[in-house]
């Protein structure tokens, strides 16, 4: 099975081509530029280098979040459109699942942490299951970094750009409970997104690209602004009661 996989959930974008258990090609770049400037060009470049045509893909995969709201919209909408237009299977994969994937055989709990802006982080906890896969424990969360410290009571492997951003604070609060990893483990790889997606596709668990949406975990700025506007409008239009006069 040939899969084209994409991650645009952080400032580090990644594209990969997989065929079965083989990573045929992979491209990653840490950049301040928005993903829409390079995503399609990156896919086209990898296809040319691998000698693939876009129609050779048997399926498409994308990281669906949590992560950058703008980045997720770009990646998810692009991959959904490709899958829908070519009538190929599609699978969305959690960004945190993909970040934990390389640590599938870890004996310690794994906690991938992503920068959520607003001085917050996205995170989740994983344990390797009997099949050697990182199994989610609980749910995907968002909180202040110091709240994350409260959840960790035993030695835990921590990875992701959220760890890099708040490393000093987390180290101070966790001490030896924080097990640090080298640089390659702090970046989401499209190859891991593709490998997790391939399992889903081969198991017949493809998703409908028309209904698939990003996993934001918390409301976007636009949604918060809309909620605030509705609440303010409701407050202004409220009928006075006896207690108001």
Q: What is the pLDDT of residue 126?
A: 97
| Band of pLDDT at residue 219, cut at 50, 70 and 90 | low
**If phi over 0 gives left and psi between -120 and 50 gives alpha, with beta otherwise, what is residue 238?**
beta
- List, for residues 150-205, the tens digit of each pLDDT value: 999 999 999 999 999 999 999 999 999 999 999 999 999 999 999 999 999 999 99
Going by C-alpha positions, the residue among 138, 131, 140 that lies closest to residue 96 is 140
The model's pLDDT over 25-40, given as tens digits with 9 standing for 90+, comes to 999 998 877 788 889 9
CB 50 within 8 A of CB 223: no
What is the structure's pLDDT at 232?
38
Q: Judging by beta carbons within 10 Å of its beta carbon (0-12, 13-18, 19+), is residue 85 exposed, middle or buried?
A: exposed
- Write the CA distances from 104 to 53, 97, 98, 109, 177, integer angstroms: 32, 10, 10, 10, 19
The single-letter DSSP state of residue 93 is E
Class of residue 27 by CB neighbours under 10 A (exposed 0-12, middle 13-18, buried 19+): middle
Q: Does residue 130 or residue 147 have the better pLDDT? A: 147
Q: Report the candidate in 31, 28, 32 with the shortest Cα–Cα distance to residue 42.
A: 28
Q: What integer best gives the mean pLDDT of the chain?
A: 89
Which pLDDT tens digit goes with each residue over 77-90?
A: 999 999 999 999 99
Q: Sign of torsion, CA 227 232 238 244?
A: positive
Share of the chain above pLDDT 90, in %: 81
Q: Which domains does the chain have, with CATH numbers?
A: 2-219 (3.30.420.40)
Q: What is the pTM of this model?
A: 0.88
Q: How distant is the alpha carbon of residue 86 from its chain centre?
A: 24
């Amino acid at each position: 099975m040939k899969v084209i996989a994409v991650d645009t959930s952080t400032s580090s974008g990644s594209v990969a081509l997989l065929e079965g258990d083989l990573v045929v090609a992979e491209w990653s770049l840490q950049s301040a530029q928005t993903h829409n400037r390079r995503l399609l060009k990156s896919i086209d470049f990898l296809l040319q280098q691998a000698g693939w045509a876009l129609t050779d893909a048997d399926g498409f995969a994308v990281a669906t979040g949590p992560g950058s709201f703008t980045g997720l919209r770009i990646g998810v909408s692009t991959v959904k459109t490709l899958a829908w237009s070519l009538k190929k299977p599609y699978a969305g994969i959690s960004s945190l699942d993909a970040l934990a994937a390389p640590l599938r055989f870890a004996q310690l709990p794994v906690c991938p942490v992503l920068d959520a802006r607003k001085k917050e982080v996205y995170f989740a906890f994983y344990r390797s299951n009997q099949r050697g896969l990182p199994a989610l424990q609980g749910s995907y969360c968002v909180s202040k970094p110091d709240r994350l410290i409260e959840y960790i009571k035993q030695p835990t492997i921590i990875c992701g750009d959220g760890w890099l951003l708040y490393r000093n604070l987390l180290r101070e609060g966790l001490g030896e409970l924080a097990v640090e990893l080298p640089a390659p483990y702090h970046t989401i790889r499209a190859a891991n997104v593709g490998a997790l997606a391939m399992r889903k596709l081969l198991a017949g668990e493809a998703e409908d690209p028309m209904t698939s949406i990003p996993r934001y975990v918390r409301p976007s700025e636009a949604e918060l602004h809309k909620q605030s506007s509705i609440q303010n409008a409701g407050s202004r239009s409220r009928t006075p009661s006896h207690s108001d006069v």
